[in-house]
Every structure is written in structure tokens, then in C-alpha cells.
Structure 1
Amino acid sequence: MTRATITALGQRGEGIVEIDGRRVYVPFTLAGEEVELTVDGERGMLNSVLTPSPERAEPACRYFGTCGGCALQHVSPRDYAAFKRGLVEAALRHAGIETPVGQLVDARGAGRRRATLHARKSGAGYMQARSHDLLNIASCPILVPPLQQEAPRLARLLHAVAGDCDVGFTATATGLDVAVTTPRKLKPEKLVPLAQRPRLARLSLNGDLVLQTRAPAVKMGKALVALPIGSFLQATEAAEEALAGLVIAGLGTAKTVADLFCGVGPFALRIAENAKVFVADSDKPAIAALQKAINHTQGLKPVTAVARDLFRDPLAPVELEPYDAIVFDPPRAGAEAQAREIARSKVKTVIAVSCEPRTFARDAAILITGGYRLESVTPVDQFAWSTHVELVGAFRR
């Protein structure tokens, strides 16, 4: 065993200490703490905290430290907010961008409405920290109340029928959407009895519908959107509202807007209350769901929805010319190809939403080189006690 003092907190939420001239990363520790650890290469396993930091907080979950789902429950609220804001600052600094980063917006709300649990013979839950071994849990406090205990319980029931599987849960306004993924060949009808549970709206197996009692749906602005199987949805309802609010504030008085990588329309449906909107995404079921929501919602400005792969076929400057503003919210890989086309355009306002600060910074550098100014950056926290952070950046030409 080794005694050492933690010097800083790394970007993965692990304490950093130098031992024999090399960095060692120790989970669940804080800067300034004297700890006892076991060293294995650049990894350190915490044995005990000898001198706790005054910023150490009491974990909210009994599984913290064993479960691999949360990394930061031991961090005080003040340092937690600074850490997440720092992730964005570091990404921008690395890309050579000097723009002040706003205060972290707490958008954890009532908890995550989406989760994927692993179901195995040993139980149901998440993988243990730094391990491929399952941690069997009775409940999860970071989830919305309808999922906290029901998700582990239902995952165990599904394992009894489906064997080893992963189970995705989404809590919607009309009930639970449950998606089972397994490599086993399984007759869907074996799952039907489990689909009769009162709060279950839909059950699917490997992307195919097993049974639906009512369409899982979520409210987006004035619209009610029926979710396709496997569609993307912000992890918390509060984050969707916060991100949409920042997007709309950034758009100002824009009357024509292009919403790219639009998904099922969390921004488009709200923007359309005041502006004409063109939307595009490669996810055809998402576009179909968005179009259906548009058709059944009164009081919206015209919305044009198309299925288009913006990675391979980004909108060119001539196609962007009709719009006062652009919104783009790509997956973690970012929107490099589309950003290059936007940088060549004359569109005055661009609002970028991202779940990965590093790819945001790369795309931001492209826009800045093309003549845009990064006016503001706001980090948004929806993944409680994780090392992930969302952000919204507003660019003006």
C-alpha cells in the first residue's frame, strides 16, 4: 500500500497523484486528501481516506463506490458545478478559443427518464466500477420515481424469460417504454405476459414491437410526440426544457430557422410556435414521428421535415441561404462536415447544442475561422454525478 496526497481532479472525475514520477488516477478522491491506495500502473485503488477534504460530500446512494454509474457523489455542490464548467473551459482552451463560459445550469430535475440496465443470472443493475461484473441493485436514486425501483424489478422478471439481456427504460407521459436487447433467439410471444403490467405502454425485442397498449409519448411545447422504438430523447425532462429555452433565447427574432440533427423535434416544435422551420435528420422514424406531431398540433408556423444524412450530405451554403438562423444538435461525434458548410454560408445566427465539449470546440473553431464569433457558452447538467455535460453555444456572423 502507498500513502499519497491527491493534487487535482482529472476530467474523468478521478483524483490525480504523482508517484515515482508518473501520474496515478484514483477514483472517489478529492484534491488535498491524504489517502492510502494500491497502485497498478497508472490506476490507483482507494483503500482509505486518511485526511478527508472539507469539500467531501455524503453520497446519496448506498451503492456509490461500487457501482460504475456515478463518479462524483462525493463532491460538494460547489466543486461539482466548477468541475463540470471546467470540462467545457478545458475543451475550448485546448482548441484555442477564448470565450467566457456561463454558470452551470442544473437540469437534473426529477431524475433521468431513460436508463439501460443489465439483467443477468446474478440480478439486474449496472456494471461495477472498473469491472465487467454486474452490481445487483434494488433501486437507483438518479432515475425518475417511476423507474427507481420498477426498472430493476422488471429487468429481473425479463431475465427469467429472456435470459441475459440489456433492458432500456423510458418513462413517458403515457407509461413505460421497455426495450429488450439480447443475442439469444427468443420468441416474442414469451414476453407478452410481462407486457400486461399496468404502467407498461410498449415492449419491444431487439428493435421489433412485441406489444403496445398505448403509444409512449412525451410533451414537447404544444405538441405530443409518439416516440419511435429506439429514438433519442434527452435524459431528463428538465434538460430538454433548459436546452430549448437557451436555443430559443439565442435565436432572438429569427423568422426562418433550420434545425439540423433535429431528432423527434424537441427544439423544432417549440421554435415553430414563432418561426418557420426546416428540419433534417438521418433518423427516418424520428422524422416520421415529428411530422405526425406537426400534423396533429395547432398553432404552429409551417414546418418542413426531411430525412437526410447530414454527415455524408450536409446542407450546402446555397441551401442555407433562406434561413435567418441555424440550430444544430449532433451526436457525440459532432457535426464537422455540416459546420464546414455553415462556415461558408452567410447565415447570421448559429446555435450549437452539444453533449461532447471536445467535438463542440472543434466545430466551434471551424465556425470561428469562417467568420463567426462565439458569443456565449452555457453548460447544462442533466447527468447527475457523472463526468458528462451538455452545452449550448451562440454564434453570430
Structure 2
Amino acid sequence: MSDHSQIVRLAAKGDGVTDSGQHVALAVPGDTVTAHGEVVPGAHHIEPPCPHFGTCGGCQLQHADEETLRNFVHDRVINAAKGQGLEAGEVLDTHLSPTNARRRATLHAMRTHKGAVLGFREGGSHRLVHLDECPVLHPDLTRLLGPLRDFVGSHGPKGNVNLALSLCDQGVDLGLEHFPLDGLEATEASLDFARDNALARLTIDQGYGAETVWEPEPATVTLSRMPVAMPAGAFLQATAEAEALMVADACEWLGEARLVADLFAGLGTFAFALAGKGPSSRKVLAAEADQTAHLACKASSARMGGKVLAIHRDLFRNPLQPSELDRFDAVLLDPPRAGARAQIAEIAAASGLERVVYVSCNPSSWARDAAILAAGGFKLAKLRPVGQFRWSTHVELVSLFER
């Protein structure tokens, strides 16, 4: 009898699972585990590309090869659907974002007597991992690691500092949180840092909300060839590659629909694409609860010749009703991780609505909502798993429902 156990699958949090149900950290399918718990690498176990892997909590699956990563993303989405009794008419190829593509991230830093520690936190801990490199981040974000560490070491406060980085049209948008500026010298140093590193914008929260201290020209993000004002801290899809694919799927699937409701529209990631790539007479309603995102979308929609109408509406408390939804040929929604239970219930009850594109960053809440659509007569026609956060257990998807 062999004293080795075989790893047969990956669990949702990235652990390898043996045929007997034992969870083993840092193991992938094809590995074996000795009686003493030692992992013997198999054909799908590779050398992690980052020296910080294993301590940094930013990645969980750098030891898995491309095939294993793709299967993990695919299986997470398909199993979520099957858990609700759903089967897709067509499952499209799984998307994996490339390396060095992530254009937004929140890092953490702490000033020490030797300077500063800056990076992601360890998995399940508040301890910081000192990052010298990161194969996930876009190079424009990575190049700031050293200068940011020096700046925090010289002018940062005691305690933890949050650093939100996003890539916009003009460069890197940097937001510092829990970062009081102690005197004129620190204020001038922050401006010097922004100028010397060609930041698009620098905002600092000293305890009273984010204040913009540097923005040579208005920060924008281009969405389907439409420059849109980018509020500080605004949501962006993590990679341009995943955004482009999901937008292309939505535009193809909505075909000849002439009146579309884009719910949880944000800055207009999908709205501007749908208005520009569909029939010449297509119009899009873009509904968003966050006021700054809504106003940015509204300002740019004025340049669409009436093809995009932006409205400010909290779809959790005040979802579109069936009488409103029945006016549309199709609906697209891209809600937060919690899903959109209230809005989905109204969509399922809208008798005249025949097509729904649902973009999700959480297969579990999506599957729960999808079951409500299925009970309302919709069928899951197309489904694409999306691994936008490379080497992470965070899985996304884009789907089409028809009835």
C-alpha cells in the first residue's frame, strides 16, 4: 500500500486537496504528499516567479502552471453554476490576465527606524512583506515601489499607511491614507515627490477625507475611446486586457438591442462601448449609485449625442421595477461582490425583457442571482470564466441569459 496521497484538485482558497479530502498548502493537482506531509512536486508544479511568494498574501497560486490556473478559474465558475442546477449552453475560453498587467492596487507601508517597509500584507496577517518587485503589477506601478518607500521612510507618520495606486491616461494616480503632513517641509516634500515621479495626481487623507494636492491636468481614463474624468479612488477593472474582453463579449451578445439599461454602470465602462458599437440608433441608460462616478459618466455622456443617459440611482434600495425594465430590449449589470439580489428579482419579473448580460466578480453571489433568473424563465446561454487577478483565487466571469 502506498504511503503517498495524490493531489486531485484545488480548493477555493488555493490549497491542494487529496483524494481523501485532506487540504495541503502549496500543492497542485499531480503532486503527491508523503505520510510526513512533504509535498513531492508533479508535472504541474512550477517554480514561483516571485521571491516573495509564500509570505506575501497578494498571490496564492504562483506554483501552479498555466493549465492548472486555467482549470482552477474554469472550475470555480462552472461548479458555482452547477451548485444552483445551472448549465451553460456554451462555455467560452477562460481568460487569464498576463503578467505585469494589473493597473490598480492598494499597498501598505509603515515607517521604521531604518526607513520603511512597503508592500502587501502576509496572508492572514497584518505583517507587511517588504516588496522589491512584483510580477503582477503594471511596470508603471512597480517603478514607484522604491521612491514610495523612501518617501514614507522620510516623511511618513507612525503607524500604518495605505497607498492606493491606479493607472489613468496621464500616469499614476496615488492616494495616501492615514498620512498627516507634519509641517511645511512635509507638504513641500509631497509636492516634490509627485513632480519628480511624474504622478498624474496625488491625494492625501490626513484624517478628514482625501484632498488633492497635485493634479497638473485633470485625470481621465479612456473607456472605449471616450475620455472620462476619473474621480480619486474610482473603480477600474484591474487589467485593460480583461476589460476589453468583457466589453467585447457584452457588445457581441447584445447584438441588435436598441435600448439597453446598464446597471451599476460606474464610470461607464460598458455604457460607452454599447452606445458606440451597436446599431446607430442604440441608446443606453447608465444607472449608478456612487455620485462621483455618476457625475463623471454624465459629463462624458453629453458628448455622445444623447446616446447615453446617466442617472443617479441606488439600485440596492431602489431597483428598476418591471414596468421600467419592460421598456428595454436588454439589461447589462456589473454589481459589487455581494451581487444584486433585489435588482435581479425585478429583472426576473419583467415579462418583456428577453436578454441579460451579467458581469460578476463573485461566482457565489452570481450563481445565487442566476438561479433567480432561471426561475423567471431565463436560460444561461453563454458563460466565460475570467481570471483577471493572475495567481489569485479571486475569480470573475461574464455571462448571457436569454428567454
Would the TM-score normalized by the shorter structure come out above 0.5?
A: yes
The match for 2:163 is 167
1:184, distance to aligned residue in structure 2 (A): 5.6
The match for 2:101 is 111
Is residue 108–residue 381 contact of structure 1 (8 Å, CA) maintained in 2?
no
Counterpart of 1:293 (choices 294, 300, 303) is 300
- Partner deviation per Cα, 1:233-270 (whole Å, 9 max, x = no partner): 00001111111001111101001110000000010011
Is residue 132–residue 145 contact of structure 2 (8 Å, CA) maintained in 1?
no
How many residues of Structure 1 are paired with residues of Structure 2 in the alignment? 382
- Partner deviation per Cα, 1:183-239 (whole Å, 9 max, x = no partner): 768679363332223420111123222221122222111201121011110000111
- 1-structure distance, mates of 2:132, 2:162: 16
Counterpart of 1:255 (choices 235, 245, 258) is 258
Alignment of 1:305 onto 2:310: yes
The match for 1:395 is 401
- Structure 1: 5+ residue runs without aligned partners? 39-45
Range 266-275 or range 184-193, more displaced? 184-193
Alignment of 1:352 onto 2:348: no
TM-score, normalisation: structure 1: 0.90
The match for 2:201 is 202
SS in 2 for 1:272: helix
The match for 2:120 is 126
Alpha-carbon spacing, 1:341–1:199, altered in 2? closer, same or farther (3 Å):
same
Q: Please tell me the root mean square deviation across aligned C-alpha atoms, in Å.
A: 2.3
- 2-structure distance, mates of 1:202, 1:178: 6
The match for 2:335 is 330
The match for 2:191 is 192
Amino acid at match of 2:108: H
5 Å matches for 1:31-46? Answer: 31-35=29-33
- 1-structure distance, mates of 2:345, 2:146: 44
Q: Identity of counterpart residues, as a percentage?
A: 37
5 Å matches for 1:1-397? Answer: 5-17=6-18, 24-35=22-33, 48-49=38-39, 51-99=40-88, 101-108=91-98, 110-120=100-110, 121=112, 122-163=116-157, 164-182=160-178, 189=187, 191-206=190-205, 207-273=210-276, 274=278, 275-295=282-302, 297=303, 302-345=307-350, 346-397=352-403
- Structure 2: 5+ residue runs without aligned partners? none
- 2-structure distance, mates of 1:155, 1:305: 40
Is residue 29–residue 44 contact of structure 2 (8 Å, CA) maintained in 1?
no
Alpha-carbon spacing, 1:343–1:36, altered in 2? closer, same or farther (3 Å):
same
SS in 1 for 2:241: helix
- 1-structure distance, mates of 2:70, 2:19: 25
The match for 1:43 is none
- 1-structure distance, mates of 2:32, 2:97: 33
SS in 2 for 1:127: coil
- 2-structure distance, mates of 1:156, 1:364: 48
SS in 2 for 1:180: strand
Range 349-358 or range 205-214, more displaced? 205-214
- 2-structure distance, mates of 1:342, 1:167: 38
SS in 2 for 1:136: coil
Is residue 258–residue 326 contact of structure 1 (8 Å, CA) maintained in 2?
yes
Is residue 142–residue 148 contact of structure 1 (8 Å, CA) maintained in 2?
no
Range 56-65 or range 85-94, more displaced? 56-65
Alpha-carbon spacing, 1:268–1:310, altered in 2? closer, same or farther (3 Å):
same
1:6, distance to aligned residue in structure 2 (A): 3.5
1:175, distance to aligned residue in structure 2 (A): 1.2
- 2-structure distance, mates of 1:291, 1:69: 35
